[in-house]
Structure formats: structure tokens, C-alpha cells
Structure 1
Amino acid sequence: MKTFLSRLLTRLSFLTAEVAVLLLVFAAGFATFFYLTRVVFVAHSAALDTWAFQQLDALRRAVPGLTNWVQVVTFFASAPFLVGAALVLPAGLRWAQRRREAWEVFLTILGAALLNQALKVHFHRLRPDSALVRQLGLSFPSGHAMIGMALYGCLGWLLWRHGRHPAWALLLLGWAILIGLTRIYLHVHYATDVLAGFAAGLSWLVLLRTALHLWWREGQVLNREQSPETTG
């Protein structure tokens, strides 16, 4: 019992200001996702979805040829791209002696993909019947929005944490949002699908980042505690 309490206090001691902020972000993302499920599946409100389609339909009519560029942008959170990213990015980070970052990126993509499929099966919302391109699968939440937010948010966080041009972190976040908007533009997702995807992806990223932070920090403390015994 004493050992258990000691380990629990050790974990709680890692709740730094950084982790506290991340937990607040997680709570906000979770609350947003929960609210959207109430809007879609309880209130059955289509007001936001209809408005978003109208705005982006007007943009498509105003800018001929934009659809081709939209399809290019949306590719960067497609299944083929994400599979490649889940293999190439961690491998590159391992080669650069960034083992922890490699695991973080890999688990971000894998976990977000698995969670997205579980949520889609649970909510079982059909896609819009007005899609501009053929798209299989269910609709809520958007996989492109969710996994894209998790992946590019993770990369942005790593750039920010290592102090390498924080502006790139904001650009990556904007890129993830743009990818989500392409799904509404193409009518393969409702706006509520995309917003729920953003919220779920951000929540997953924060949850994973916090868990890895606690795990690695505790491992460092335990190693320091054991090192005198090892060297003695």
C-alpha cells in the first residue's frame, strides 16, 4: 500500500503547468465533441450543416477550377497518405535519433485512426447524398479532420517544443483546418462531422501527449532512483 501511494504521488508530481493546460484543452475538445453529438443525434439540427454547404457551394461557383485544388489538399489526410506518413515520419525521426518523437507520431496516427473508426461505427451516421466525389464509409466524425488534426497538431507541437520556428506550428494547425474544410466543400462530410473530427483529434492528441509525458518523466525519476543502487 505504501508503495502504491508513493507511485501515485510520483505521478501527480508530474502535473506541471504544461500538463494542466493540456488537460484543459482536452476537456474543451471533449465538451465540444459531446455538444455536437447532442446537436446531431438528439436535436437533429441541420442548420449548421446546411449553412456550411451553402457557403462553400457559393465559393465553388465563384471560383471555377477550385475543385481540382481542393482534391489535392484533401489528399494530405487520405488513407494512402496517412499510411505512408505513419511509416516514413517515425522512420525518419528514428534515423535522426528522435526515438520518443518517432513513437509519438506513430501512436498519434494509429490511435486516431482506430478511435475514428470506433466512433464512426458507434454513431453510424451516413454520408451526405450530394457528394461531389465517391467516398466509402460512415460520416461522423470526419476521419480526414480527426486524423489530420492529430497528425499535423502533433508535428506542430514538436516544432514548437523544440523551438524551431513556432510559426510553422501555427501553419500546420491551419493546414489541418483547411483539410477539414475540403471535406465540406466536396460534400463528403457535414460541417458537424468535421468539427467533431477536429475536437476528437485534438482531444486524442492531448490525451496521448499527456500520457507519454507522465510515462517518460516517471521513467526518468525511477532510473535516477535506481542508479545509486546500481553503481553501489
Structure 2
Amino acid sequence: MKTVWSRLLNRLSFLTAELVVVLVVFLGAFAGFFYLTRVVFVEHSVELDTWAFRQMDALRGALPGLTTAVQVVTFFASAPFLVGSAVLLPAGLAWRGRKREAQEVFLALAGASLLNQALKTHFHRLRPESALLQQFGLSFPSGHAMIGMALYGCLAWLLWRHGRHPAWAALLLLWAVLIGLTRIYLHVHYATDVLAGFAAGLGWLILLRMALRLWWREAQVIDREG
């Protein structure tokens, strides 16, 4: 009996710790996004954006050949790549019997894409005039940063949950951050666009995860009662 209670208490303490961490991350992402909107649209500050462009310009001057590699990296959150990922990744997961994971990846990508467009339309910030590549659309928040964080963050979570592979999960998150940095390097987004994209992507992932947990739990209850 004591063993059962100890296991139950350990399980509850773990869940409580998990929920606290998730809540802290979500609130941090929300606060960060709100702060960036104040900096950009209320205070009209360009200090961070100017500083970030200056650092990237210095890097490009020191390593002229780096631009080609940057263009390769930035492709992995481009529209063609994301559309392909939204089809192929869920299809592959479903084929392997991971239907819930397939649903989670698809909704992470689709929801982040729709939310990103809604936020861009609302804030209506124009792209930098100094862009090294021609890019269409609006600037805040960065789609590469936001949708990339949603995709690679979701994959990182799935790896951690099923395989307990913290190293691979960390690498996926670092990859998402690197993709965001390429947008500043190419001057197609301001640093504040990219940071806001990271924050919005994390926030969306957490909301999606919580919503899916509630939905799947309710479905299990209905199945048992049925």
C-alpha cells in the first residue's frame, strides 16, 4: 500500500513540475512577444535591430562565402519545405501507426502558418529595405522563425517524449534558432521580427499541446462511457 501511494505521489509531483515548467515557458513567451510589440510599435525603437544587422554585416564581411550556406539553412523553413513537411511528415507518422503524433505535427504547422499570417496582417510591418534577397509579404513576426520553431519544436517534443533523446531534441531547437538567425543575416527580417517569431511559435506549441491533451482525454472518457 505504501508503495502504491509513493508511486502516486511521485507521479503527481512530476505532473505538477511539468505543468509549472510549461506555464512558466508560456508566460515567458507571451511576455516576450508583448514586450517586442511595445518596442517596435509603441516606442519605435530600432536599437536592437540596428545592432543585430551590424553584427551580421560584420560576420558577412569576415566570411564572404558564408552567404551560400546561410541560403541553404534558411530553405529548411521556407514555404515549399514547410508545405512538403506538412504532408510527408504526418503521412509517414500515420503509416507507422503514430496517428496522434501525425495529427500533432500537422496542426503545429498548419496552425502556426495561419496564426503567423493573422499576426502579420494585424501588425502590418514592412520588411527591411536592405534585404539581400527579394521577399514578399510582411515582416512581423518572422514566418521562418515562428513556423520553424513550431515544426522543429514539435519534433523535439516528440523525440523527448517517446525516445528520451534530449541531445537530439536540443539540436532541433538550436536548428530552429539558427534558421531564425539566417533571416537577420539576409536582412529579410529585423531581429525583433525573429524574436517575436520564436515567442509566438513557442506559445502556439504549448497551447496546441494542452488543447490536444484535453481533447484526447475527453475522447477516452467518451469511449469508456460508450
* TM-score under structure 1 length normalisation: 0.89
Map 1:65-84 to 2 at 5 A. Answer: 65-84=65-84
Where relative contact order (Cα < 8 A, 6+ residues apart) is larger, the structure is 1
Contact preservation (8 Å) 1:23, 1:207: no
Q: C-alpha separation between the residues in 2 aligned to 1:73 and 1:179? A: 6
Alpha-carbon distance, 1:218 to partner: 2.6
Query: Cα RMSD over matched residues?
Result: 1.5
Q: C-alpha separation between the residues in 2 aligned to 1:86 and 1:164? A: 24
Contact preservation (8 Å) 1:22, 1:210: no
CA deviation vs aligned residue, 1:93-149 (integer Å, no higher than 9, x gap)? 000000000000000000000000000000000000000010000000000000000
Alpha-carbon distance, 1:223 to partner: 2.7
Map 1:145-184 to 2 at 5 A. Answer: 145-184=145-184
Kindly indicate whether residue 26 of structure 2 is the aligned counterpart of residue 49 of structure 1.
Answer: no
Map 1:2-41 to 2 at 5 A. Answer: 16-17=15-16, 18-41=18-41
Contact preservation (8 Å) 1:130, 1:187: yes
CA deviation vs aligned residue, 1:125-176 (integer Å, no higher than 9, x gap)? 0000000010000000000000000100000000000124221000000000
Q: C-alpha separation between the residues in 2 aligned to 1:132 and 1:160? A: 37
Structure 1 unmatched runs, 5+: 1-12
Secondary structure of 1:136's match? coil
Secondary structure of 1:212's match? helix
Secondary structure of 1:91's match? helix
Structure 2 unmatched runs, 5+: 1-11
Kindly indicate whether residue 211 of structure 2 is the aligned counterpart of residue 200 of structure 1.
Answer: no
Kindly indicate whether residue 74 of structure 2 is the aligned counterpart of residue 86 of structure 1.
Answer: no
Task: Report the counterpart of residue 139 of structure 2 in structure 1.
Answer: 139
Letter aligned with residue 72 of structure 2: V
Task: Report the counterpart of residue 107 of structure 2 in structure 1.
Answer: 107
CA deviation vs aligned residue, 1:32-85 (integer Å, no higher than 9, x gap)? 000000000000000000000000100000012100000000000000000000
Q: C-alpha separation between the residues in 2 aligned to 1:22 and 1:98? A: 24
Q: C-alpha separation between the residues in 2 aligned to 1:31 and 1:213? A: 24
Q: C-alpha separation between the residues in 2 aligned to 1:86 and 1:144? A: 14
Letter aligned with residue 102 of structure 2: A
Alpha-carbon distance, 1:222 to partner: 3.4
Contact preservation (8 Å) 1:127, 1:189: yes
Letter aligned with residue 171 of structure 1: L
Letter aligned with residue 103 of structure 1: Q
Identity, % of aligned positions: 76
Contact preservation (8 Å) 1:108, 1:151: yes
Q: C-alpha separation between the residues in 2 aligned to 1:165 and 1:210? A: 22
Q: C-alpha separation between the residues in 2 aligned to 1:19 and 1:95? A: 31
Q: C-alpha separation between the residues in 2 aligned to 1:83 and 1:77? A: 10
Contact preservation (8 Å) 1:135, 1:188: yes
Kindly indicate whether residue 218 of structure 2 is the aligned counterpart of residue 218 of structure 1.
Answer: yes
Structure 1 residue ranges (4+ consecutive) displaced by more than 4 angstroms after TM superposition: none
Contact preservation (8 Å) 1:116, 1:143: yes
Task: Report the counterpart of residue 8 of structure 1 in structure 2.
Answer: none
Contact preservation (8 Å) 1:112, 1:204: yes
Task: Report the counterpart of residue 3 of structure 1 in structure 2.
Answer: none
Q: C-alpha separation between the residues in 1 aligned to 2:113 and 2:19? A: 24
Letter aligned with residue 129 of structure 1: E
